């Protein structure tokens, strides 16, 4: 059944009723031609021939699409109705057609009701609610703005709505413009804002709304006029949107297809929409900031571990698809902890920033450089062979060579150790590559730092052994399976026993005795050394106190302390507490430290040594001569004793160089008022040379092996009568 217009023959009462209705009613054919209208409608719009004429906001094509929709599908629409005196009246349209698939000659009835303020308000409320919901759901900014534009256009179908982003360089970029022709949008992209840059560019420039009622005439549009008119855009009203930092971040604009000023309803709508745009924009800034925090390191600005992992996984995927290699480099700054501890964290951060700036330029744009945490950096070289990776590692190390310039500090020289793992040989996924690169990095540290090492499978086995040893050592320490042996130190001149050195002994139930040279390094690596050395110090002090009470003639005991313990523990405080607890004098204790510690010119260790010295505890430089050539520290630091390393003692009778060296060390010691002890003395010939060159003290198998406390007491009893 087709809808027909009421004919003259129809019930006059019905016609009267239709004319008097509050609604405007029109009967239109499928092409949008008006066949009939009631008086209410004619009173508003006169006698237009087509829908195009009374609703300028929609084109003919849009009308035919709406009119051909099957019954029941057409919903309501908000459209501006052009009144007889040229005003635009906001209205709501409803479509009424009959039948599932209307006949070609069927008419559609449109009921038109003017939108009152309250209805407009509620329509805007609805729009606001939907857009805020999209913001709350963290939809991408483009999606939110697109939704906003579409909803505005359905509320005010005679406008074209756009949102342009304004970048930091003051150029605009379309964010959303669903009804603007794509080619016009493309032409806007990158246009600079300015005092005469159309409505949007000028609004952004002036930081205030710009209303252009007639693009054809307004001087603001001079440069863009031809373009806009070509796309049928006749008027434009643009409002700037401010970001949190008060910079203009976007513009919200309404275009009209005919020259005209803004109607009041649009003002209300734009007010609401400008606010929505601002909320969406600021929320987007927020999300980006969160993303920056989540994916970037805030000290160096480099990618963080998370982004590194994302990119690495992506690169590995490409590599496995293409059958190409990828290299993973792990770079660890050497002795960074010392810098952090002695110069403070602010300087440490500055060091990391400067390092990051040096590393970046060594890499290609496609490579990923990230700070993985602490002083550890990761590099992914997609497509790089092992040879490429070593080349890159050399470049990175070279870039770190020149000393760093830090505000208020002396130039600081730094180096790093790099471990390299190659995909796919060294691991099929990120986790195994990282693990193996780390093993290789520790190998580089062990090899003396400031170098790069490839991962080798043998390293993995060595690591396995170290881990086993670490576990066993922990157990030994907690179950009391460690022991101290004591080796006497004698004065050459009269053969008197001046003291002894405490040396750690560990007998493993299955492995038998394990030499300190094997397990001390492991303990240093795994952080067990502090507990180990603390235990040794306590035991040695307790033993010395027992000897003192028993009247054993042993003036002092020497204890080895790892440099790591000086960095990490308050050794001086521990020593002070032990001396007091056991009733010992500070002069009875000597701490043996290696040259390594002396050369790390670090405020913390210097302070520790100074405090020990002030207490009266003696500091002895162990393995003297094996370390470095610099001797300046002997003047700066409160050292009392030098222990000539046993490697120089071994060939003393045969090697003139060793003899010269021993002579030189003794000379240095004498000049600085230090005692010189020769360690590892095994033969009478060695002893004789040492006597000739004037060495003060000796220690070695020739006089006594390291032995348990009771054995040393027995040894002392037997020696009390003998000469050296
Ligand atoms: P060190 O402090 O230089 O100790 C001297 C080493 O020379 C000891 O080795 C000792 O047994 C050995 N020795 C003594 N006389 C002779 C000799 O005539 N000929 C030869 N060839 N060697 C002799 P040991 O006990 O194996 O200790 C090795 C290193 O382990 C020590 O060197 C020391 O650096 C470290 N160490 C030992 N105990 C501890 C400890 O409690 N804490 C720390 N941090 N390190 C320790
Ligand atoms: Mg020693
Ligand atoms: Mg030594």
Q: Which atom of ligand 1 is nearest to the CA of 699?
A: 15
Same domain, 528 and 676: yes
**Both 435 and 479 in a single domain?**
no
Q: Give the pLDDT band of residue 166 (cuts 50, 70, 90).
A: very high
233 in the same domain as 172 = yes
Q: What crossing angle do the helices spanning 571-582 and 529-550 adopt, rounded to 10°?
A: 20
- Closest C-alpha residue for ligand 1 atom 33: 560
258 pLDDT above the threshold of 50: yes
State whether 281 and 310 are in the same domain.
no
pLDDT digits (tens, 9 = 90+) for 577-616: 999 999 999 999 999 998 877 776 677 888 999 999 999 9
Q: What would the pLDDT profile of 123-150 be if each residue is shown by its tens digit?
A: 888 889 999 999 998 889 999 999 999 8
200-210 mean pLDDT: 96
| Closest ligand 1 atom, residue 701 Cα | 18
Q: What is the structure's pLDDT at 266?
A: 84
What is the CATH number for 594? 3.20.20.450
Q: pLDDT tens digit string along 308-325?
A: 999 999 999 999 998 999
Of 455, 484, 518, at which residue does a domain stop?
455
Whole-angstrom distance, CA of residue 498 vs CA of residue 716:
11
Structural domain contains residue 299: no
Tell me what the mean pLDDT of segment 46-62 comes to.
Answer: 80
Q: Write out pLDDT tens, residues 352-383.
A: 999 999 999 999 988 999 999 999 999 999 99
* pLDDT-wise least confident of 213-222, 501-510, 521-530: 521-530
Closest ligand to the CA of 501: 2
Residues 109 and 133 in one domain: no
Asked if the structure places residue 420 within a domain, the reply is yes
Give the 3-state secondary structure percentages of the chain, helix then strand then coil, rounded to 5. 45, 20, 30
In total, how many domains does the chain have?
A: 4
Confidence of residue 667 (pLDDT cuts 50, 70, 90): very high
- What is the domain-level CATH number for residue 46? 3.30.450.20
Residue 284: CATH number of its domain:
3.30.450.40
Q: Does residue 724 surpass a pLDDT of 60?
A: no
Local confidence band at 635 (pLDDT 50, 70, 90 cut-offs): confident
**Domain check: are 260 and 133 in the same one?**
yes
For residue 511, is pLDDT > 80?
yes
Residue 421 neighbours by CB distance under 10 Å: 26
**381 shares a domain with 500:** no
In a domain, 284, yes or no: yes
Residue 5 domain-assigned?
no
Assign 161 a pLDDT band (cuts: 50, 70, 90).
Answer: very high
Which ranges constitute the DSSP H helices of 447-590? 457-478, 516-526, 529-550, 563-568, 571-582
* 232 and 326 belong to one structural domain: no
Ligand 1 atom closest to the CA of 559, numbered from 1 = 41
Instruction: Determine, yes or no, domain membership for 390.
Output: yes
Q: Residue 629's pLDDT band (boundaries 50, 70, 90)?
A: low
pLDDT above 80 for 437: yes
On the question of pLDDT at 186 being above 80, the answer is yes
Among 502, 507, 513, 516, the mutation site with the greatest number of ligand 1 atoms within 8 A of its Cβ is 516
Q: Is residue 656 part of a domain?
A: yes
Please tell me the distance between residue 503's alpha carbon and the centre of ligand 1 in angstroms.
Answer: 6
Q: What's the average model confidence in pLDDT over 470-497?
A: 94
What pLDDT does 722 receive?
A: 61
Between 102 and 448, where is the model more confident? 448
Domain identity same for 95 and 125: no
* Residues 79 and 62 sit within 8 Å (Cβ to Cβ): no
**413 and 310 part of one domain:** yes
DSSP per position, 319-357 = HHHHT--EEEEEEEETTHHHHHHHH-HHHHHHHHHHHHH
pLDDT band at 1; cut points 50, 70, 90: very low
Q: In Å, what is the CA distance from 670 to each residue of 26, 330, 592, 675?
A: 119, 47, 19, 7
For the chain, what is the mean pLDDT?
A: 89
Range of the domain at 181: 120-293
515 pLDDT tier (thresholds 50, 70, 90): very high
Output the domain CATH number for residue 353. Answer: 3.30.70.270
Q: What are φ and ψ of residue 460, in 5° steps?
A: -60, -40
Ligand nearest to the CA of 591: 2
Mean pLDDT for the stretch of residues 46-63:
80
* Centre of ligand 2 from the C-alpha of residue 99, in Å: 104
pLDDT at residue 559 above 70?
Answer: yes
In-domain check, residue 2:
no
List residues near ligand 1 (CB under 6 A): 487, 503-504, 515-517, 520, 533, 536, 560-562, 592, 622-623, 646, 679-682, 700-701, 706
What is the residue with the minimal CA distance to atom 20 of ligand 1? 680
Of the two residues 503 and 22, the one the predictor is more confident about is: 503
Q: How many Å lie between the centroid of ligand 3 and the Cα of residue 594? A: 8
pLDDT at 464 over 90: no
Is 639 found in the same domain as 682?
yes
Listed residues 245, 260, 293: the one ending a domain: 293
Query: Could you tell me if 680 and 706 lie in one domain?
Result: yes
pLDDT of residue 103 exceeding 70, the answer is no
**Ligand index nearest the alpha carbon of residue 487:** 1
Q: Considering the domain boundaries, does residue 4 fall inside one?
A: no
| Nearest atom within ligand 1 for CA of residue 565 | 44
Q: How far is the CA of 489 from the centre of ligand 1 (A)?
A: 13
pLDDT band for 70, please (50, 70, 90 cuts). Answer: low
Chosen domain end from 428, 455, 482: 455
DSSP 8-class letter at 6? P
């Amino acid at each position: 059944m087709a809808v027909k217009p009421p004919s003259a023959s129809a019930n006059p009462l019905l016609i009267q009723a239709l004319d008097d209705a509050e609604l405007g009613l029109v009967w239109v054919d499928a092409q949008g031609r008006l066949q009939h209208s009631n008086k209410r409608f004619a009173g508003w719009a006169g006698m237009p021939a087509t829908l195009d004429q009374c609703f300028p906001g929609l084109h003919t094509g849009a009308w035919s699409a709406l009119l051909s929709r099957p019954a029941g599908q057409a919903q309501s629409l908000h459209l501006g109705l052009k009144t007889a005196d040229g005003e635009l009246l906001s209205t709501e349209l409803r479509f009424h057609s009959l039948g599932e698939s209307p006949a070609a000659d069927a008419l559609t009835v449109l009921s038109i009701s003017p939108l009152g303020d309250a209805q407009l308000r509620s329509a805007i409320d609805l729009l606001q609610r939907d857009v805020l919901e999209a913001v709350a759901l963290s939809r991408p900014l483009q999606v939110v703005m697109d939704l906003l534009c579409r909803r505005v256009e359905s509320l005010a179908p005679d406008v074209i709505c756009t949102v342009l982003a304004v970048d930091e360089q003051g150029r605009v970029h379309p964010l959303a413009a669903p009804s603007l022709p794509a080619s016009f949008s493309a032409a806007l992209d990158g246009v600079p804002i300015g005092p005469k840059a159309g409505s949007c560019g000028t609004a952004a420039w002036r930081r205030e709304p710009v209303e252009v009622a007639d693009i054809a005439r307004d001087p603001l549009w001079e440069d863009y006029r031809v373009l806009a008119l070509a796309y049928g855009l006749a008027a434009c009203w643009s409002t700037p949107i401010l970001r949190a930092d008060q910079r203009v971040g976007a513009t919200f604009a309404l275009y009209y297809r005919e020259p005209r000023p803004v109607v009041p309803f649009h003002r209300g709508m734009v007010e609401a929409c400008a606010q929505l745009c601002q909320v969406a924009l600021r929320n987007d800034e927020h999300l980006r900031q969160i993303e920056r925090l989540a994916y970037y390191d805030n000290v160096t600005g480099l990618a963080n571990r998370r982004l590194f992992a994302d990119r690495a996984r992506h690169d590995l995927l490409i590599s496995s698809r293409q059958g190409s290699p990828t290299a993973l480099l792990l770079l660890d700054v050497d002795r960074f902890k010392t810098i952090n501890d002695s110069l403070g964290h602010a300087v440490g951060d500055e060091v990391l920033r400067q390092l990051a700036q040096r590393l970046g330029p060594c890499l290609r744009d496609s490579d990923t450089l990230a700070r993985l945490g602490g002083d550890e950096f990761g590099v992914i070289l997609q497509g790089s062979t092992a040879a490429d990776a070593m080349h890159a590692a050399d470049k990175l190390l070279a870039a770190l060579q020149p000393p760093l310039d830090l505000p208020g500090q002396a130039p600081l020289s730094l180096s790093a150790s790099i471990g390299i793992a190659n995909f796919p040989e060294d691991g099929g996924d990120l986790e195994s590559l990282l693990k193996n690169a780390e093993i290789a990095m520790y190998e580089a540290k062990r090899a003396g730092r400031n170098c790069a090492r490839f991962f080798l499978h043998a390293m993995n086995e060595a690591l396995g052994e170290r881990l086993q040893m670490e576990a066993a050592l922990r157990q030994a320490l907690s179950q009391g399976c460690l022991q101290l042996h004591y080796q006497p130190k004698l004065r050459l001149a009269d053969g008197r026993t001046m003291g002894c050195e405490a040396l750690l002994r560990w007998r493993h139930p299955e492995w038998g005795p394990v030499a300190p040279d094997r397990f001390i390094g492991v303990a240093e690596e795994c952080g067990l050394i502090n507990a180990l050395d603390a235990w040794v110090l306590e035991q040695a002090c307790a033993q010395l106190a027992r000897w003192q009470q028993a009247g054993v003639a042993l003036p002092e005991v020497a204890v080895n302390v790892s440099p790591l313990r000086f960095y990490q523990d308050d050794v001086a405080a521990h020593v002070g507490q032990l001396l007091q607890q056991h009733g010992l004098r500070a002069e009875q204790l000597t701490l043996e430290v290696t040259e390594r510690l002396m050369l790390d010119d670090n405020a913390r260790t210097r302070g520790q040594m100074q405090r020990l010295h002030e207490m009266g505890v003696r500091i002895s430089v162990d393995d003297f001569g094996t370390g470095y050539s610099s001797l300046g520290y002997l003047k700066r630091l409160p050292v009392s004793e030098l222990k000539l390393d046993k490697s120089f003692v071994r060939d003393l009778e045969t090697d003139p160089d060793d003899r010269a060296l021993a002579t030189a060390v003794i000379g240095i010691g004498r000049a600085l008022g230090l005692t010189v002890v020769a360690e590892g003395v095994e033969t009478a010939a060695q002893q004789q040379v040492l006597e000739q060159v004037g060495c003060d003290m000796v220690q070695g198998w020739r006089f006594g092996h390291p032995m348990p406390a009771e054995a040393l007491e027995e040894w002392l009893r037997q020696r009390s009568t003998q000469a050296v």
